[in-house]
Amino acid sequence: MPKIVVAIDSLKGCLTSLEAGEAAAEGVKRACPCCEVSVLPVADGGEGMLEALAGTGGGRLVHLTAHGPLMEERETCYGVSADGATAVVEMARISGLPLVPAGRRNPMQTTTLGTGEVLRDALRRGCRRVLLGLGGSATNDAGLGMLQALGYRFLDAAGREVGQGGQALARVERIDASDAMPELAQTRFVAACDVQNPFYGPQGAACVFAPQKGATPAMVRELDDGLRHFADIVRRNLGTDIATLPGAGAAGGLGGGVSAFLHAELRRGIELVLESAGFARRIRGADLILTGEGKSDRQTLMGKVPAGVLAEASRQGIPVALLAGRVEDEPSLREAGFRHVLCINPPRTPDAVALSPDYARRRLAQTAEDLVRTLFP
């Protein structure tokens, strides 16, 4: 009886990881009713991380109200392990870009305060290990808001609070940690990031990512200057240099903020998720793994979900098939080790059709069915 594991990333704006996996599993069962099929939600540290980890080991969700990117109150949640020791926090659920209407996106104003409120709740409940997903942010405040929620005060030259958002970074002259939560010193933070960008500069948080969050060219320059200034303040006050730290630019500089203030370990998101979910153990003995994402190309091989799945599967000698809504650079993907590289959509499928959830489910199921019928006749 063949054992097939399905571990597909979310198809952004279309299907969650679990939905995509269940669709492919449906096709597998149609082709091979007697096979053993396991669906494992996966993520690279952004959208879907909580879904991928919260259900492992009997964990539960904690619901609360916190402030969104524009300081509006929102319902959100995070995961807690069965023993209550580990919290899984997906910052995008309370500080993410989809929470801000297109016409109001402005990283000069958006804040990570809500992410800090979620962390504060987890620490007060006794969690002493935190897995924090950094992807999908609406912010460029280097975690300033998050740290304010955890008790840090950031003061200007006159000793006044600098306020919220990326616009506040350039005004910070002094850091007051006297009211920081004492639980922080007892807690291990591990941050999952899917990018390796430095804190500031041409490849930094503002220059690369702020335009996607609504920043004009003038805002990008001001935000980059603010990050540069904040890094100098951090170096002088904490003795920590985050300027060129790989991943410091993740989530609008939040990577640098959690590293400097919370002593967080920055890990590639997919590696952290697979390790925490016990992926290596759960795929043992599989005959085939189906992975995938919305678009596969050379970027896939730079730390995205399918690359992480392929790395572990290769260690165990398990063949991997890659299913994607769009495929480019197929020779590179095959050379990397994917046994099968399949586009789920017929040529020239309009994006509006391809991004329809019902259509995507049908195409994933059909592609998986066709492949499995060929491999396990």
**pLDDT at residue 51, as a whole number:** 81
Handedness of CA 241, 299, 135, 185 (dihedral sign): negative
Q: How confident is the model at residue 195 (pLDDT cuts 50, 70, 90)?
A: confident
Stretch 133-147: mean pLDDT = 96
**What's the whole-number average pLDDT of the chain?**
95
**Mean pLDDT over residues 348-370, rounded?**
95
Read off the pLDDT of each residue in 150-155 and give the average, rounded to a whole number.
98
- The secondary element (H helix, E strand) that includes residue 130 is strand 129-133
Query: How many angstroms separate the Cα of 374 from the Cα of each of 32, 369, 371?
Result: 10, 9, 5
Rounded average pLDDT over 291-319:
94
In sequence order, what are the residues at sequence separation of 6 or more whose Cβ sits closer than 8 angstroms to the Cβ of residue 325? Answer: 11, 14, 293, 294, 295, 343, 344, 345, 354, 355, 360
- Our CA angle for 212, 215, 221, nearest 5°, is 120
- DSSP string across 254-290: HHHHHHHHH-PEEEEHHHHHHHHTTHHHHTTT-SEEE
Q: Residue 239 pLDDT > 90, yes or no? A: yes
User: How much is the pLDDT for 109?
Assistant: 98
Sign of CA dihedral 363, 368, 374, 377: negative
pLDDT higher at 53 or 109: 109
Mean pLDDT, residues 136-161 taken together: 97
CB 7 within 8 A of CB 291: yes
Residue 58 confidence (pLDDT):
67
SS3 call for 144: helix
CB-count exposure of residue 358 (10 Å: 0-12, 13-18, 19+): exposed
Contact 371, 321 (CB under 8 A): yes
DSSP readout, 36-87?
Answer: EEEE----SSSTTHHHHHHTGGG-EEEEEEEE-TTS-EEEEEEEE-TTS-EE
Angle at Cα 314 formed by Cα 336 and Cα 42, nearest 5°? Answer: 90
- What value does the mean pLDDT take over residues 129-147? 96
Lowest mean pLDDT among 15-19, 79-83, 273-277: 273-277
User: In this predicted structure, what is the pLDDT of residue 283?
Assistant: 97
Determine the pLDDT at residue 108: 98
Write the DSSP symbol of residue 243: T
Residue 56 has pLDDT above 80, yes or no: no
Please enumerate in sequence order all residues whose Cβ is within 8 A of that of 350, keeping only pairs 6 or more positions apart, or say none.
none
Question: Where does the pLDDT of residue 303 fall: very low under 50, low under 70, confident under 90, or very high at 90 and above?
Answer: confident
Phi, psi (degrees; rounded to nearest 5) at 188: -100, 125
The pLDDT value given to residue 277: 86
* pLDDT for 276: 85
Per-residue pLDDT at 57 exceeds 70: no
What is the mean pLDDT of the segment spanning 312-325? 97
Q: What is the mean pLDDT of residues 83-93?
A: 95
So what's the pLDDT on residue 346? 95
Is it the case that residue 223 has pLDDT exceeding 80? yes
> Which domains are assigned to the chain?
3-42+283-375 (3.40.50.10350), 49-270 (3.90.1510.10)
Cα separation of 260 and 277, whole Å?
A: 27
Q: Tell me: pLDDT of 269 over 90.
A: no
pLDDT at 198: 97
Tens digits of residue pLDDT in 196-221: 999 999 999 999 999 999 999 999 99
Spatial neighbors of 60 by CB under 8 A, at least 6 apart, are: 54, 79, 80, 82
Rounded to a whole number, what is the distance in angstroms from the first to the last CA of the chain? 12
R_g of the chain computed on alpha carbons: 21
pLDDT reading at 55 higher than 70: no
